[in-house]
């Protein structure tokens, strides 16, 4: 079922698929994999297969049942554009999105090639936001280039876990950038100047910037809990987000 989430930049998670496989360095310490294994051990319904890719058709209609306008993160526990998800199932997910215009839906992928290929033959609903993970230059920059050419209301980047200095960024066509450090016992450190560089480039190019967290490593290079390190950058929080695109929000 759809659940409220602790992810700072969204409201609810909706997982019509669960499970995934690793495709890039950002996947190395996947929180969803650890969570899925824990949920399987607890006997939670829907996680009988652990982190193996699993479709959940019974969950497809969940957003239609919620009348309060909300922002959904689609597949916090999976990747909708995973190679084992049939096009017909992706079409079913976007059909529900189109039929729920009072909600906004955030879809994030590391498989930008398949997302671009899918939307070469399909139109994105106005209330869909499409995003790619950009954890480093090698994987992230090509994904950004693919994303910017997809016709959609909102395009966003998740630079979490941010693994290196991203260098100069062309943010043309990008509406929103989220940056965050890695959490978990095997987390890799994130340097403050990597984040500040991205923030400054967002400001220069008119892109909204959201700083999610430092993660396990603080800005001073000291390991602490994610909560102890917090979300402050240059002495404040940075929580800019695009306005909801749900077409009927004012009417519901």
Place of tokens 């980047």: 157
Cβ within 8 Å of residue 150, ≥6 positions away: 115, 116, 119, 124, 130
Hunting for tokens 């879809």 — which residue is that?
A: 107
Pairwise CA distance, residues 112 & 120, whole Å: 12
Gyration radius of the chain over CA positions: 18
pLDDT at 214 over 90: yes
List helix spans (H) across the chain.
31-41, 62-65, 87-98, 112-119, 137-147, 192-205, 226-229
The 8-class DSSP code of residue 110 comes to: S
How many whole angstroms from its chain centre is CA 56?
19
Q: Is the pLDDT of residue 250 over 80?
A: no
Residue 5 phi/psi, 5-degree rounding, is -125, 155
Residues in the chain: 252
DSSP 212: E
pLDDT class of 249 with cuts at 50, 70, 90: very low
**C-beta atoms surrounding 74 within 10 Å:** 26
Is the pLDDT at 181 greater than 80? The verdict is yes
Q: Where are the domains of the chain?
A: 18-251
Question: Is 251 a residue whose pLDDT tops 60?
Answer: no
How far, in whole angstroms, is CA 124 from its chain's centroid?
17
| CA pair distance 128, 141, nearest whole angstrom | 22
Give Cβ neighbours of residue 109 (< 8 Å, ≥ 6 apart). Answer: 79, 80, 81, 115, 130, 131, 132, 133
Q: pTM score, two decimals?
A: 0.95
Q: What digits encode the pLDDT tens for the residues 71-98?
A: 999 999 999 999 999 999 999 999 999 9
CB-based burial label for 96 (10 Å; 0-12, 13-18, 19+): buried
pLDDT (tens digit per residue) in 20-72: 999 999 999 999 999 999 999 999 999 999 999 999 999 999 999 999 999 99
Task: Look up tokens 């989220």; give the residue.
Answer: 178
Q: Give the model's pLDDT for residue 1.
A: 60
What's the maximum distance between 2 C-alpha atoms anywhere in the chain?
Answer: 49
CATH class, 18-251 region: alpha beta
Is residue 204 helix, strand or coil? helix
49-73 burial, b at 16+ Cβ within 10 Å, e below that, comes to eebebbbbeebbebbeeeeebbbbb
């Amino acid at each position: 079922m759809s659940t409220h989430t602790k992810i700072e930049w969204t409201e609810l998670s909706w997982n019509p698929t669960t499970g995934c496989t690793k495709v890039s360095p950002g996947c190395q310490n996947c929180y969803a994999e650890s969570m899925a294994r824990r949920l399987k051990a607890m006997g939670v319904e829907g996680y009988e297969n652990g982190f193996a890719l699993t479709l959940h058709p019974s969950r497809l209609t969940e957003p239609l049942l919620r009348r309060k306008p909300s922002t959904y993160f689609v597949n916090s526990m999976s990747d909708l554009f995973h190679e084992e998800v049939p096009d017909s199932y992706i079409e079913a997910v976007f059909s529900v999105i189109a039929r729920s215009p009072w909600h906004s839906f955030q879809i994030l992928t590391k498989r930008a090639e398949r997302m671009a290929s899918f939307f070469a033959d399909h139109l994105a609903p106005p209330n869909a936001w499409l995003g790619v993970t950009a954890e480093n230059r090698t994987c992230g920059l090509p994904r950004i280039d693919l994303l910017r050419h997809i016709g959609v209301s909102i395009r966003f980047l998740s630079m979490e876990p941010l693994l290196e200095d991203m260098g100069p960024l062309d943010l043309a066509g990008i509406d929103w950038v989220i940056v965050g450090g890695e959490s978990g016992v095997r987390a890799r450190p994130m340097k403050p100047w990597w984040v500040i560089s991205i923030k400054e480039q967002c400001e220069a190019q008119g892109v909204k910037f959201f700083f999610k967290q430092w993660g396990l490593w603080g800005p001073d290079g000291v390991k602490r809990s994610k909560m102890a390190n917090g979300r402050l950058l240059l002495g404040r929080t940075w929580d800019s987000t695009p306005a909801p695109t749900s077409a009927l929000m004012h009417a519901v």
